[in-house]
């Protein structure tokens, strides 16, 4: 199992099938143009920095942008309808949280989640191994809520996303405020990509910090 970060909320999850989450075109947000090749594309919401399907190359690509339960290329996927704000979508619309399984490892990508999850939504994500969570404080969960939700879900690995890095043209916060809540030994700087198996996952929660 391999995870590669393409910046923002765009990740490549590679096993027998390759899943791309929330693709962007790079230039529109001040980042390098990503080289994306995949079988399945997950779109959490229809904003320009998350929905650039045309950037993904591949044959017979499955694009999922609805809150459905499906199996694509052997990957079990559940989409959970949520909101991009604390006003039931009145400000920024809806958002889809995706739960999926590859190589016996369960993943949850929160997209641009803007609120705490309700009990039914939490039940759907309660046993995930790897959690991708937005921590940029603006447009999504605030940092305090992101930390609280991370602790409630209690995955083996937390992967921060959707935060400010050099060159990014969006007005969001850097990852530092989120990382302050974790001891240094719990923060693992994995570089641009990491390869692992289920048995490699930590017993106690770690934060895996990616870089471009």
Residue 115 confidence (pLDDT): 97
Contact 203, 182 (CB under 8 A): no
Contact 72, 87 (CB under 8 A): no
Residue 138 confidence (pLDDT): 87
Residue 155 confidence (pLDDT): 98
CATH architecture type of domain 2-210 = 4-Layer Sandwich (3.60)
Joined together, the tokens standing for residue 143 give 């940092």
Show me where the domains of the chain are located: 2-210
Cα(135)–Cα(95) distance, integer angstroms? 16
DSSP letter for 186, please: G
Contact 163, 133 (CB under 8 A): no
Cα(49)–Cα(26) distance, integer angstroms? 8
**DSSP bridge pairs for 2:** 14, 195
Cα(177)–Cα(144) distance, integer angstroms? 9
**DSSP bridge pairs for 18:** 14
Residue 19 confidence (pLDDT): 98
Residue 52 confidence (pLDDT): 98
pLDDT tens per residue, the chain (212 residues)?
Answer: 999 999 999 999 999 999 999 999 999 999 999 999 999 999 999 999 999 999 999 999 999 999 999 999 999 999 999 999 999 999 999 999 999 999 999 999 999 999 999 999 999 998 999 999 999 998 999 999 999 999 999 999 999 999 999 999 999 999 999 999 999 999 999 999 999 999 999 999 999 999 99
Cα distances (angstroms) measured from residue 115 to each of 84, 129, 145, 187: 7, 21, 8, 25
Which of 93, 89, 140 lies closest to 113 in space, CA to CA?
140
- Element housing 145 (H / E): helix 143-153
Torsion, CA 89, CA 90, CA 91, CA 92, rounded to 10? 30
- Element housing 13 (H / E): strand 11-14
Residue 135 confidence (pLDDT): 98
pTM of the predicted protein model? 0.97
Residue 96 confidence (pLDDT): 98
**DSSP bridge pairs for 210:** 191
Torsion, CA 56, CA 110, CA 160, CA 175, rounded to 10? 100
Cα(161)–Cα(39) distance, integer angstroms? 22
């Amino acid at each position: 199992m391999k995870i590669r970060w393409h910046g923002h909320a765009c990740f490549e999850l590679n096993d027998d099938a390759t899943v791309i989450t929330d693709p962007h075109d790079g230039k529109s947000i001040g980042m390098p143009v990503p080289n994306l090749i995949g079988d399945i594309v997950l779109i959490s919401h229809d904003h320009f920095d998350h929905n650039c399907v045309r950037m993904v190359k591949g044959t017979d690509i499955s694009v999922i942008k609805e809150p459905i339960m499906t199996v694509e290329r052997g990957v079990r996927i559940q989409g959970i309808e949520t909101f991009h704000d604390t006003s039931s979508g009145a400000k920024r619309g809806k958002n889809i949280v995706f739960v999926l399984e590859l190589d016996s490892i369960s993943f949850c990508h929160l997209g641009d989640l803007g609120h705490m999850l309700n009990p039914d939504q939490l039940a759907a994500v309660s046993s995930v191994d790897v959690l991708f969570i937005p921590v940029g404080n603006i447009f999504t969960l605030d940092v305090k809520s992101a930390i609280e939700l991370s602790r409630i879900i209690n995955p083996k690995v937390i992967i921060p996303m959707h935060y400010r890095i050099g060159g990014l043209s969006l007005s969001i916060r850097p990852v530092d405020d989120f990382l302050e809540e974790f001891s240094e030994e719990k923060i693992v700087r994995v570089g641009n990509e990491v390869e692992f198996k289920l048995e490699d996952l930590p017993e106690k929660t770690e934060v895996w910090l990616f870089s471009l």
